[in-house]
Chain A
Amino acid sequence: MSTGPTLRAPVQQADRGPDVAVRLDSVSKVFRRGGEVRALDGVSLSVPRGAFLAVMGRSGSGKSTLLHVAAGLDVPSSGSVWIGGTEVSRLRETPRTRFRRDRVGFVFQAYNLVPSLTIEENITLPLRLAGANLDRAWVGTLVERTGLVDLLRRLPGELSGGQQQRVAIARALAPRPAVVFADEPTGALDLATGQGVLGLLREMVSDYGQTVVMVTHDPVAAASAHDTVVMADGRIREVLRAPDVEVLADQRRPPEPHTVGAHR
């Protein structure tokens, strides 16, 4: 089993081992548009291979920003981001895109399927863009696991929210990425459908050793992950190892008047 995420302030060479899937070193992200917002404030985090990590925290605490930066969709204002052995925060736009489409899967909260393409075309689009060979067996397995076999010829507009979210997951997994990031994948779904989607992610972790980082507001969802990182004001406030639902539900209460000190 995994060793769980670790929080470290100083960068240690030793941690850049083969077992670390994603690592953030003192990452800050400042948005300067319309006043300065420090969305991430010196976050350090490493996610071991095969981990299923949940990220929780109040709205505006920087969860989505963390995911974007960690996935290479956005670059940090300072600090560095490593995926496997590559420092993605150093890569320029095009190499970063190439790296990302080969190694990172991203599931958006709003599905973000391409409306003009069929479900099948949507799932294989990243592979096409990468010019990669289609692993038919793998895609077949994914389609079966996500229960999309009968929907392949349809357009996204003709699917329900839960179905679309499953397409988004299949799409993220199709290139066999090193890490899958999912931003509130169950946010718009009803309880049962949400559970289905969570189960799918969990299976990927348990059956294929897939690394998954998932943002969620739902304690039940977070409980299905191994560990949970709790964010507040752009910092990691706490790391909960295999917490149960009650502990997680507590995280949703307003924070105590005092702030959590160091991330240690």
Chain B
Amino acid sequence: MRHRLPHRASEVLAIVTAVLIGSVLASLCLVLLETGLRSPVPPQRLGSIDLVVGGEQSVPRAEDLDIALPEHVGVPTHLIREVANVPGVTAAAGDVSFPAAVSDGAGGFQPAPDPRRAGHGWDSLLGEIDLVGQAPRGAHDVVLDEMTAAAAGVSVGERVEVALGGEPRTMHLSGVVDRAGTTDNSGAASGVPGTILVSDDLARTLSPLAADTVDLITASTEPGSDPAVVADRVQQAVGPELVVSSGADLGSAERPAAAVTAGMLVLLVLSAGGVVVLLVGFITGGAVSVLAANRARELALLRAVGATPAQVRSLLARHASTVVLASSATGVAAGYGLAWWSQDALVGLGILVIGQEVSWSPWPALATVLLLWGVMQVAARAASWRVSTLPATTAVIETQSEPRAGGPLRTRAGAVLLVLALGTALAPLVTRTEAAIIGAASGALLAGIGVVLAAPAVVRRGAGWLAPRQRSVSGWLAVRNSGSFAVRTGGALAVLAVAVGLTVTQVFTTTTLSSVAAHEARASTIATAQVTADPVGGVPEGLVEEIARLPSVSAAVPVLRTSGVRTTSDGTQALTGAEPEQILAVGPGADEVLDLGVVDGTLTDLAGDTVAVATSLGWPHGIQVGDTLPLALADGTRVEPTVVATYRHGFGFGTVVASRDLVPAAAGPVDSVLVRGEDPGAVERDLSALVASHPGLETSDPLARAGTATQDPTVWISLGASVVLFGYLLLGVANRLVATTLRRRREWQLLESLGATHGQLWAMVAAETGLIALGATAAGLVISLVPMSLVALGFLGTPWPQGPLWVVAAIVLVVTATAAVATLVPTRHLLRARGALVLP
């Protein structure tokens, strides 16, 4: 009975691969989820500090996770003395930061992840650091870490070129700190940014903070004292509004932005996790149902000889479960490996902060194995439900033919879903919000399920129409087969269609969003040039005026990017469902460099406590000119600006454009200066001259940084994830096709005994595969490109989906190739392996 063997091997292989890859994906997601929720942020500069007092770095949100604030909330300066006076505390100091960068010894500046906050006062370290040389005392002293000093090519006592507060200066390197003592090895190995320390007096003047506020208070405790007890006393002294951190919490107190990116990781995993679980269920379920179909006759015969329905079901479940346990264990191991490997990539993308590591615990492994085991149990029982509950005799007869088409209920449900999906796809024509685009995209998922449900009936109809139009007998047989086994054909077709549809949708949503953003940015930027100074942490205030005074320049407007979340009017909590909005803080004269497509009000009024709001935010929430918009800014500052204008081009510049006066952090250097002049050539020349004399300054096309959507690292992650899921789906279909093809041995033997040649059988199988690939491509492209075209029509006025066509071509090619390989290889195997046409 050799021919039986490949059947079983293929069944087991189908389940093993489905479970293996499913458990890799699930365990990876769970490990990353745990990382996002629990991974401690390692301290950098403050690693040897005993206690840190900081503000409450989150805004509570009703019915949801708190919103983490990316910037230091700050602590009143006068509390430094009170902390120092707490018994058990030996010293306390305030910590402030300022924009700083160190020369790379070649006319430029050393790259750093956040030059805007790279500089600090010396006292915050409380002397708990190994110093070679002198602490910075005078206004020209600076202390660097060994690596940074070496990169600048200077040693203690020499002069060093730095930029402080965006301004280049020559300082005296009074000392060098050995950072090996303050950070763990992994941090040093991954290149922790430079430490730039100056005297506290200088730090104070360079910091954009008001004098009565510091970012943090650092404190050291008496040797031998109980840190917990001292921390309690400090908490008493500073009051309940502030947060006292020590030990493992120091890192997140030092780098509040880490909490924001960790939250981003959690969101990312949760959004991907849903699809992963869905697909794992879908594909392992599919593999089990193929197994059940293959074994249906055996199961029916078991029933006939006296097995109870429950016995039959658990027989199949047990059979599948043993495979699951073994392969999910392997998959989990691979998932952990992948998580370990992705650690550096996540740091590179800015999802984890430098030095942060993936959390390891057995829970993701346990949960993954349980999930897959559960999926398998349910799928096995569901798949064998029918054959196990039928009367034994009917069961034996039924299993000789396959189910032919889905019931009318199934078809109707599919049709309803498709109509609903079309409804969501129309949304972008009505409202121009990001939610409309996302809605249209998730409509594709709905449509995918609709296709899965409706496919058998459509295949049956289509085959009925096509059959009489076939000229070759192979084509005719192919169409008749597809129609007669509509559930089998429709199943494979629908899963391929979903693979095409979801992947195209994912890619095109991203490209459409950024194309909309670029389109709006182009349409609304009337500035002719832009000046930035990213390497040194920003363009200093003084330079803005200098640029404005250039003869060719008619307007120079400083711009700062930050964020804020809408709060209740008393500011105590974020509004339900509110997410942080991007805020563009602009100086006076914004209307001279930006044309935001103002719908109501005017940008001229944008001064003091005022904001302009994009209609995509204002329209759904009923925000109008004259209303107040309570916000919690990135550093927690509560503001209640008046809305002075609403505008259309929200995708290019963010949903809120604020007066710079509203944002306290804007007191320091700005992100960029948008410049306009009558003669762009003259502006260009004047700016080039200015840039040449100011190291760190750069001039560029004003559109270079305008589109914000493309800079989001999560875009790349979700694109990568959708490629992986596409592959997983394809694998599922391939498994299914292999198993169903191998099941057709008898059918082909019969045809051959009636005189079909191998050539005719090949042609028939090829035609069937072609039909599946064609149908899948057509359905997949319809469910993805229709909504994307409507988005393009709604936002850009062109009915063409915005995205690379080669992606569509590649996806279609891959899908067709997969279908071909997965049917033709087993076909070859069957036609080769067979000897005589002995039929009973």
Contact = CB atoms under 8 A, between A and B. Distances in A.
B757 A131 contact: no
Interface in B745-790: 747, 750-760
A126 B473 contact: no
Interface stretch (B314-322, B345-353, B478-486, B727-735): B478-486
B839 interface: yes
A154 interface: no
**A contact face: mostly helix, strand, loop, or mixed:** helix
A126 B754 CA distance: 6
Interface string A64-90: 100010000111000000000000000
A68 B836 contact: yes
B484 to A, nearest CB: 3
A241 interface: no
A74 B755 contact: no
A129 B840 contact: no
Interface stretch (A95-103, A144-152, A228-236, A245-253): A95-103
Contacts of A64: 838
Nearest to A72: B837
A129 B759 contact: no
A94 B401 contact: no
Given A73-B838, A116-B485, A101 B755 contact: yes
A1 to B, nearest CB: 31
A131 B756 CA distance: 11
A130 interface: yes
A117 B155 CA distance: 90
Nearest to B834: A93
Contact of B753 (A33, A73, A117): A73
A171 B752 CA distance: 14
A128 B836 contact: no
Interface string A32-49: 010000000000000000
Contact of B760 (A108, A121, A129): A129
A198 to B, nearest CB: 21
A116 B754 contact: no
Nearest to A171: B754
A125 interface: yes
A126 to B, nearest CB: 5
B756 A129 contact: yes
A255 interface: no
B476 interface: yes
Contacts of B485: 116
Contacts of A101: 754-756
A33 B759 contact: no
B4 interface: no
Nearest to B754: A126
A74 B837 contact: yes
B836 A73 contact: yes
B2 interface: yes
B840 A126 contact: no
Contacts of B760: 129
A59 interface: no
B757 A128 contact: no
B758 A94 contact: yes
Contact of B757 (A98, A116, A171): A98
B839 A112 contact: yes
A260 interface: no
A128 B473 contact: yes
A60 interface: no
Contacts of A74: 835-838
Contact of B759 (A94, A100, A110, A114): A94
A106 interface: yes
A97 B754 CA distance: 9
Nearest to A102: B755
B481 to A, nearest CB: 6
A193 interface: no
B254 to A, nearest CB: 71
A97 B836 contact: no
Contacts of A115: 400-401, 484
A110 to B, nearest CB: 5
Interface in B790-840: 835-840
Contacts of B476: 128
A112 B473 CA distance: 19
Nearest to B836: A74
B838 A97 contact: no
A199 interface: no
Contacts of B753: 73, 106, 108, 112
Nearest to A69: B836
Contacts of A130: 755
B755 A97 contact: yes
A130 B754 CA distance: 10
B758 A93 contact: yes
Nearest to A116: B484
Contacts of B752: 97
A219 B298 CA distance: 35
A73 B757 contact: no
A129 B756 CA distance: 6
A43 to B, nearest CB: 17
Given A116-B480, A129-B473, A110 B840 contact: yes
B836 to A, nearest CB: 4
Interface in B150-182: none
A13 to B, nearest CB: 29
Given A93-B758, A126-B755, A108 B480 contact: no
A109 interface: yes
A117 B750 contact: no
B1 to A, nearest CB: 8
A140 interface: no
Contacts of A117: 480, 484
Contact of B401 (A98, A129, A157): A157
B179 to A, nearest CB: 75
Given A33-B2, A116-B484, A100 B755 contact: yes
Given A114-B750, A116-B485, 20 more contacts: A68-B836, A68-B838, A73-B753, A73-B838, A74-B837, A93-B758, A97-B752, A97-B756, A106-B753, A108-B839, A109-B840, A112-B839, A115-B400, A117-B480, A117-B484, A126-B755, A129-B754, A129-B755, A157-B401, A171-B754
Interface of A: 33, 64, 68, 73-75, 93-94, 97-98, 100-102, 106, 108-110, 112, 114-117, 121, 125-126, 128-131, 157, 171
